Amino acid sequence: MFLPLCPVDVRVLDAAKGRAAIRDMLNQPTRLLVMASRARSAELSLTPFLTALQGDGHAIQLYSDIPANPSVGDVAALLSRLRELAFEPTAILAIGGGSCIDLGKAAAALYHLLRKPDEAAVREAIQSRAYERPHPFVDLLAMPTTAGTGSEVTRWATIWDAQNRRKLSVDHAQGFPRAAVLIPEWTAGMPAALTLSTGLDALSHAMEAYWAAARNPLSQEMALLAAAKACAALPAALAAPGDLDARREMCMASLLAGLAFSQTRTAACHSISYPLTMLRGVPHGFAVALTLSSVMRRNARAVPEMERLEAVFEEAEGFDAWIEQAARGIQPLRLEAFGVTQADLPGIAKLTFTAGRMDNNPIVFTQDEVLEILRENL
């Protein structure tokens, strides 16, 4: 299957130029749905930006109900709200982390499909891939405020189905944002735990793209570069949150990792993470990073070029020492620290097999092997 490397117009700019770039890109008057949480709007002083967009002739509707880990219910709530307001967006501007961008992607894919959006209709449309039926997707522009998700350069969105305890994906060639503007200074206000979890998510994308069964030489080079940047810049951004060079490097790490895994998709660590997030609320970046070391050690048996990835962490005395040091004083990366007990593990292990992720690992683990990996990280 042909996967375009990057059909997204990506810019990395300072805040003033980034806002100007979005105004330039929206060169025709739109009905613009702006998605940004209240906290994000206040932190980034978005009001003058939105006023300027209005002045450019756009009709603006702000939606600030941005949950962590958006669910089918959250997508239904957003679409229903738009129907109530009779606001048919012709463009969506998502300003936030991966959850905000993914919610925007789901709305962009489903808006023209669901006349009466409720939770069941959204679930059915995602499950049956009804969004593959020819219909226009709404243009999506993304302004990530974290450095980790890579969602700004991928074609899929993660939407949770809490009722059925599973993760769903909206996954379509039209799912790529039209444009993404990364503003490193916007990521400087993140608290340490969010810098760490999102940074580890970016690193996980890089590492999993590097060893994925679907790896190729191009994705591996991008993944290595992303891992090297994250290895140097994440500790620097944690040590000095206002260090804009480190923030820029983390934005680039996240972007390069996003490009790498847009080609390969993720593998066992992401697959194992989903029930940890769904059942125990473990933040995504921590949930994926928890098992990186155990999985890397096992995968080395099947990936002869693993040495190049290991070499990235050589100066830090290896990956285990690096991650231990990065997380120190912020978040213990053990399952117990998130309230997971020994007794929970068999039930979790059963739910870790997501098609397209677990079977994209170079070694396809059995349920017992996953249990062993979980036990190692309790």
Q: Which residues bind Fe ion (CB under 5 A)?
A: 201
Q: From the CB of 126, what's the least distance to Fe ion, in Å?
A: 18
| Residue 201 CB, nearest approach to Fe ion (Å) | 4
- Residue whose CB is less far from Fe ion, 41 or 151: 151
User: Taking Cα atoms as reference points, which of 176, 77, 86, 89 lies closest to residue 138?
Assistant: 89
Q: Among residues 73 and 199, whose Cβ is nearest to Fe ion?
A: 199
| 281: phi then psi, degrees, rounded to nearest 5 | 65, 25
Which residue has its beta carbon closest to Fe ion? 201
Angle of helix 292-299 relative to helix 268-280, nearest 10 degrees?
160
Least Å distance, CB 250 to Fe ion, is 15
DSSP alpha helix (H) spans, 240-344: 244-264, 268-280, 284-289, 292-299, 306-312, 319-327
Nearer to Fe ion, 119 or 201 (CB): 201
Q: Measured from the CB atom, is 201 or 249 closer to Fe ion? A: 201
d(CA 120, CA 167): 15
Distance CA 171, CA 203 (A): 22
Two tokens, residue 60: 């603006």
CB proximity list for 28: less than 8 A, separation 6 or greater = none
In whole angstroms, how far apart are CA 168 and each of 157, 164, 274?
A: 8, 10, 10
Nearest approach in angstroms of CB 158 to Fe ion is 8
Q: Which is nearer to Fe ion, 254 or 299 (CB)?
A: 254
Closer residue to Fe ion, CB minimum distance, 79 or 157: 157
DSSP 71: B
Cβ proximity to Fe ion, 33 vs 358, nearer residue: 358
- 59-63: strand order across its sheet: 9-12, 179-182, 139-144, 91-96, 31-35, 59-63
Residue 355 beta carbon to Fe ion: minimum distance, rounded to whole angstroms: 17
Beta strands in the chain (DSSP E): 9-12, 31-35, 59-63, 91-96, 139-144, 156-161, 166-171, 179-182
Q: Report CA-CA distances (Å) from 16 to 132, 183, 207.
A: 37, 9, 33
Contact 142, 152 (CB under 8 A): yes
Q: Shortest gap between Cβ of 352 and Fe ion (angstroms)?
A: 15
Q: Cβ 67 to Fe ion, closest distance in Å? A: 17
Least CB distance from residue 128 to Fe ion, whole Å? 25
Residue closer to Fe ion by CB (options 30, 273) is 273
